[in-house]
Structure 1
């Protein structure tokens, strides 16, 4: 039997390729809203981050989410991500 192909995505913080299931998907909806996509199925443009605080800090410092989405990212999005990373809510 053939092995199933595992979808790989790049973390915008550390720039490493990892399996899609190991990353957090941040999505910009067609209306322009930015949120965390827990199921990975939300419509819109997606960007991926590792589950580490270090990658989160790198992405914020280098404004990689802004570059990925082509729009300004509110500080509340970063705070929401940090809160969920610290609480371990994201599986």
Structure 2
């Protein structure tokens, strides 16, 4: 008898709705070891990550509550928020 190993799905919390969701469904914003903030579509970049659902309400909620800044421990430029908004409207 062959027992299939169940692959564990990595879960992450969305900064907007505060719900745990599969990592693959979320957008990762990462702070590199050099302190640069970027949007990581692959989920593989080195650095501290913060996750957000692919929906506008979650993004706006997270921005309003400054959750990205708390999670990444750094001031986030309006440029990054603008890029995130654009990425979400393209989804």
- With the length of structure 1 as denominator, give the TM-score of the two structures: 0.94
Runs of 4+ residues over 4 Å off in structure 1: none
Counterpart of 2:63 in structure 1 is: 60
Aligned pairs, number = 88
Counterpart check, 1:42 vs 2:58: no
Q: Distance in 2 between matches of 1:71 and 1:2?
A: 40
Deviation digits for residues 37-68 of structure 1 (CA, Å, limit 9, x no counterpart): 01111000000000000000000000000001
Counterpart of 1:84 in structure 2 is: 87
Counterpart of 1:21 in structure 2 is: 24
CA radius of gyration, larger in: 2
- With the length of structure 2 as denominator, give the TM-score of the two structures: 0.94
Aligned counterparts, 1:2-21, within 5 A? 2-21=5-24
Q: Distance in 2 between matches of 1:71 and 1:38?
A: 20
